Structure formats: C-alpha cells, structure tokens
C-alpha cells in the first residue's frame, strides 16, 4: 500500500513538473501572464531588480533560491524552514495553494491562481526577473505612441488605484463624490 501511495505521489509531482516544462513556458501567453500578475500579485509583490518589498517580498532572483532567504523581508518561520528551491513547478504549485505547499505561510490569497493561468504567470515572472533563457516578446502595446498618458506607460500602478464613490444628500439635493486612492 505504501508503494502505491508513493508511486501515485511521484506521478502527480512528475505531471506537475511536466506542466512547467521549458517548452510550455516558452510558448506561454506572455500577455495573459502579465495581466494575471497585475491582477493577482502586483499589489503585494514587485519583480524589478532592486525593487521594493511590499506586503510580500520583491521576487527578482527568486528562481533557483530557497524560500525565505531575502534578508530585507520578514518571512514566516514556516517559509524560512522549508527545504526546496523555487522552480517554475514549485512556484506554480505554491500559487495554486500556498498553505498546501507551505503550511503556516503568511501569504494569504482568497483562492489559488487558476490552472489555466499558472504556466503563463510563471513564464511572465521568469521573463521579468531575468530567470528565463528565452527572449521577452514585444507586444504591440509595448510600443507606445509619442505623448502616451502616464496610465498607458505604467498600467500596473493605475490598476491598483481604488475608486471610492460616495453618495450623500444635503438639503434634498443629491451629491456624488468620486475619489481615486492608491
């Protein structure tokens, strides 16, 4: 019985690693990965070399490292004590279920990244953090026209702007207040 459980476990880990093969990562949809990262990760993480840690650590250079090693970030004891390296497959598994891979982690997300987005987001992260050995694709929207607005030049910043709308009444007159906060 133990052999069967180990064999099934080996098959599931192998299948997960195959999902993140180099070929799958190279052929992943860069734009889908970028959008998914902006929507799900960039409120807490940055990717640029020398970038700031936010609620979560900066992820530049994370591939190939052991989790919880960045000195400038206060990791949970659970994250500091795990014994594996960040690879495309382990990051894919972590973003699918952080608590399942690292019980006691402080990374709380409402739901794991959907399977359909995982390879794309990991490939995007690899490209943006210098871990990929293939070229970053050039997208049409990357070539901005002269005079492009700041929102077009820095979309991830503007994606995190929160809009606050308030409706109130004063002397039988309705007022609407709309504000943007970061």
Residue 12 in any domain: the answer is yes
User: Which residue segment(s) compose the domain that 40 sits in?
Assistant: 2-136
* SS3 at position 89: helix
User: C-alpha distances in angstroms, 175 versus 162, 164, 172, 179, 180?
Assistant: 20, 14, 10, 13, 17
Q: How many domains, the chain?
A: 1
pLDDT digits (tens, 9 = 90+) for 44-72: 999 999 999 999 999 999 999 999 999 88
User: C-alpha distances in angstroms, 93 versus 97, 126, 182?
Assistant: 6, 15, 30
pLDDT digits (tens, 9 = 90+) for 133-152: 999 998 776 666 677 776 66
Residue 41 in any domain: the answer is yes
Residue 142 in any domain: the answer is no
Residue 89 in any domain: the answer is yes
Alpha-carbon distance of 117 to 108, in angstroms, equals 18
Q: What is the CATH number of the domain that holds 93?
A: 1.10.760.10
Provide the pLDDT confidence category of residue 32 given band limits of 50, 70 and 90: very high
């Amino acid at each position: 019985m133990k052999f069967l459980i180990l064999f099934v476990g080996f098959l599931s880990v192998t299948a997960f690693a195959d999902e993140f093969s180099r070929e799958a990562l190279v052929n992943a949809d860069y734009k889908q990965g970028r959008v998914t990262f902006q929507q799900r990760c960039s409120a807490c993480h940055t990717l640029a070399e020398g970038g700031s840690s936010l609620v979560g650590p900066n992820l530049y250079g994370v591939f190939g490292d052991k989790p919880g090693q960045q000195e400038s970030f206060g990791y949970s004891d659970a994250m500091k004590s795990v014994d594996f390296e960040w690879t495309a497959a382990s990051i894919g598994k972590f973003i699918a279920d952080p608590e399942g891979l690292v019980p006691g982690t402080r990374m709380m997300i409402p739901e794991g990244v959907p399977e359909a987005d995982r390879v794309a987001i990991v490939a995007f992260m690899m490209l943006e953090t210098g871990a990929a050995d293939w070229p970053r694709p050039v997208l049409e929207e990357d070539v901005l026209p002269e005079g492009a607005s700041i929102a077009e030049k820095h979309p991830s910043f503007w994606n995190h702007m929160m809009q606050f709308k308030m409706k109130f009444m004063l002397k039988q007159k309705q007022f609407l207040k709309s504000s943007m906060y970061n």
